[in-house]
Amino acid sequence: MTESGKMKSKSLVISLMLAASIQTFNADLIDQKCPIDCECHYFRINWVIDCSESNLTSVPYDELSSNVYVLDMNGNNIEHLNPFPTDIKLRRLQMAHNHLSELSYDSFAGLAYLLDADFSYNMITRVDPEAFRDSPGLITLELQNNPLIEVDSHFLNCRTLLYLDLSTCGIHRLNTQFFHNTTNLKKLDLSGNPLQQITPGPFDHLTNLEYLKLNNCTLTHISPEAFIHLENLRELDMSNNNLRTITWSTILAPLVRLESLNIGNTGITNLPADAFNKNLYLRHLVLSQNELHHLDIENTLGHNLHNLQSVDLSNCGLQDRLSEETFKNSSKLRVLNLSGNPMFAGDLTAVLRHLPKLHKLSLSNCSLRRLPDAFDVLEHLEELDISHNPLSDAFVKLLNPLRSLEYLDMSYCSLGYVGNNTFAHMTSLKKLILSGNKLHTLDENLFANLTRLESLELKNCGFTTPLDPNIFGSDKISSSVIELRLNGNPLEMPDEGPLLPKQLSNVEILDLTNCSIRRLNPDILSRNKNLTHLNLSNNRISSLEFLRKLRRLEHLDLSNNLLTTINRKMLKSNSHLLSLNLIGNPFVCNCSIVDTWDWAVHEKNDLHVLIGSKPSEFATGAVKFRKSLSCTYDDETYRNVTNQRLLMRKGDVTPHRTWAKYIRESNCERQA
Ligand X SMILES: *[C@@H]1O[C@H](CO)[C@@H](O)[C@H](O)[C@H]1NC(C)=O
Residue ranges that bind ligand X, judged by CB under 6 A = 53-55, 154, 157, 167-168, 180-181, 191-192, 215-216, 240, 288, 299, 302-303, 312, 314, 329, 337, 339-340, 360, 362, 365, 388, 420-421, 424, 443-445, 448-449, 488, 490, 505-506, 513-514, 529-530, 535, 537, 555, 557, 636-637, 640, 651-654, 656
Of 104 and 157, the one with the shorter C-beta distance to ligand X is 157
Instruction: Give me the least distance between CB of 90 and ligand X, in Å please.
Output: 23
CA separation for the pair 126, 65 (Å, rounded): 29
List Cβ<8 Å contacts ≥24 apart for 64-69: 64/33, 64/35, 64/88, 65/32, 65/33, 65/34, 67/32, 68/32, 69/43
Instruction: Give me the least distance between CB of 460 and ligand X, in Å please.
Output: 6
Classify 164 as helix, strand or coil. strand
CA separation for the pair 471, 439 (Å, rounded): 13
Of 17 and 103, the one with the shorter C-beta distance to ligand X is 103
Is 531:552 a contact under the CB 8 Å cutoff?
yes
- The amino acid sitting at 503 is Q
Instruction: Give me the least distance between CB of 216 and ligand X, in Å please.
Output: 4
Of 362 and 565, the one with the shorter C-beta distance to ligand X is 362
Compute the Cα dihedral for 268, 303, 323, 340 and give only its sign.
Answer: negative
Of 17 and 54, the one with the shorter C-beta distance to ligand X is 54
H/E/C letters for each residue in 503-518?
A: HHCCCCEEECCCCCCC
CA separation for the pair 597, 614 (Å, rounded): 12
Of 48 and 158, the one with the shorter C-beta distance to ligand X is 158
∠ at Cα 590 (584, 592), nearest 5°? 85
CA separation for the pair 631, 151 (Å, rounded): 47
Q: What share of the chain is helix, strand, coil (3-state, %, to 5)?
A: 15, 15, 70
Instruction: Give me the least distance between CB of 513 and ligand X, in Å please.
Output: 4
Of 254 and 340, the one with the shorter C-beta distance to ligand X is 340
Instruction: Give me the least distance between CB of 191 and ligand X, in Å please.
Output: 4
Instruction: Give me the least distance between CB of 339 and ligand X, in Å please.
Output: 5
For residue 446, give the nearest of 468, 430, 431, 464 by alpha carbon: 468
For residue 221, what are the β-bridge partners?
197
Instruction: Give me the least distance between CB of 66 and ligand X, in Å please.
Output: 26
Instruction: Give me the least distance between CB of 447 and ligand X, in Å please.
Output: 9
Of 20 and 473, the one with the shorter C-beta distance to ligand X is 473
Residue nearest to ligand X (CB): 302
CA separation for the pair 512, 549 (Å, rounded): 17
Of 88 and 368, the one with the shorter C-beta distance to ligand X is 368
Of 90 and 308, the one with the shorter C-beta distance to ligand X is 308
Within 8 A by CB and 6+ apart from 34, the residues are 9, 13, 40, 49, 63, 65
CA separation for the pair 499, 435 (Å, rounded): 19
Instruction: Give me the least distance between CB of 556 and ligand X, in Å please.
Output: 8
Instruction: Give me the least distance between CB of 329 and ligand X, in Å please.
Output: 4
Of 26 and 575, the one with the shorter C-beta distance to ligand X is 575
Which DSSP category does 588 fall into? B
CB-hemisphere CA count at 13 Å for 227? 28
